[in-house]
Chains A and B, each alone.
Chain A
């Protein structure tokens, strides 16, 4: 259900970087730990983009799996169910090595051809 607010945050980030240019494509990295449903995010983005520079832009999402790293024994592992203790040493000091992203990677914008005579 938080996809609506996230889509607005994404839109604001994109519009800022577009600097007035029309946006034709948005590339996003979405970590598994962000609990985002890709179809729902795309659905809301299409709605919030209406009437903005992003209207009709392609919306590409790269999913990033959840990966954790134990700060005690350095083991790294991929998580499927949300269990954050280290399976090797039982340590609680664990860092998220991947899966926490909600990043606008790049955008594609339309520009007037610049004459470089």
Chain B
């Protein structure tokens, strides 16, 4: 028996990225644009979806709902007559805290791809792991609530860099908080220069129109987004 050194030089997430590319090919074939929707727990992802899923003229929306356990969010959206597919990650080792490309691949047969134009994947609430795993999406959006603090971009740069749009939610709470919104926007720009940003309140509806228009633009793009 002897020991042999084998040169590898392979990104550890290559396997995930290969499956993500296969998902993407299936989405493209069905002309479905896909949004990977991420945030910390409780930032307001589901409420932001409830606000817009019925307000996108000409766009048929489907939702893929990722949670560690349960189907509370899926039930909220299904009650709005949107096709919802639930993925629970607790079957995996330790209960995965994110979705990966393979979980989405396994869910594909349950998603009515021929009947939708836009698939929104609501990722597991978490500011770390979801940033690492591409799913086959066209664009990535993250939500950051003003109750989370101005320093979050500096603490979670990976997530703030792994998205094309940052939504700052719960701005209706600003009068009650010691929170410097400009400081947050500055920190986001430091970590991800030039990233799209919008401030809104899913609760009051302030600013939600911009989010709806942005989603509609994504859904109606004919060409796949790089």
Contacts and interface: CB of A to CB of B under 8 A. Distances in A.
B193 A107 contact: no
Contact of A103 (B9, B153, B191): B9
B108 interface: no
Interface string B14-25: 111000000000
Interface stretch (B60-68, B89-97, B111-119, B177-185): B89-97
B3 A10 contact: no
B5 A111 contact: no
A55 to B, nearest CB: 16
Given A1-B97, A2-B132, A83-B190, A106 B158 contact: no
Contact of B8 (A6, A91, A107): A107
Give the secondary structure class of A's interface: mixed
A90 to B, nearest CB: 9
Nearest to B132: A2
A45 to B, nearest CB: 11
B226 interface: no
B8 A105 contact: yes
Contacts of B13: 6, 9, 102
Interface in A82-104: 82-85, 91-94, 101-104
A9 B190 contact: no
B175 interface: no
Nearest to B100: A5
Interface residues of B, number: 39
B164 interface: no
Contact of B192 (A4, A84, A108, A109): A84
A103 to B, nearest CB: 6
A1 B129 contact: yes
A85 B189 contact: yes
Instruction: Output the residue of B6, B12, B154, B157 with the most chain A CB within 10 A.
Output: B12
Contacts of B158: 33-35
B161 A17 contact: no
Interface string B141-166: 00000000000011011100100000
Nearest to A82: B157
B57 interface: no
B193 A5 contact: no
Contacts of B129: 1-2, 5
B15 A108 contact: no
A25 B93 CA distance: 24
Given A82-B157, A82-B191, A85-B190, A13 B1 contact: no
Contacts of A34: 132, 158
A108 B5 contact: yes
Interface of B: 1-16, 93-94, 96-98, 100, 126, 128-129, 132-133, 153-154, 156-158, 161, 189-194
Interface of A: 1-2, 4-6, 8-10, 12-14, 16-18, 21, 24-25, 28, 33-35, 48, 81-85, 91-94, 101-113
Given A84-B193, A108-B3, 18 more contacts: A1-B126, A5-B132, A6-B13, A8-B93, A10-B12, A12-B15, A13-B8, A17-B10, A33-B157, A84-B192, A85-B190, A92-B194, A93-B193, A103-B8, A104-B8, A108-B5, A111-B1, A113-B2
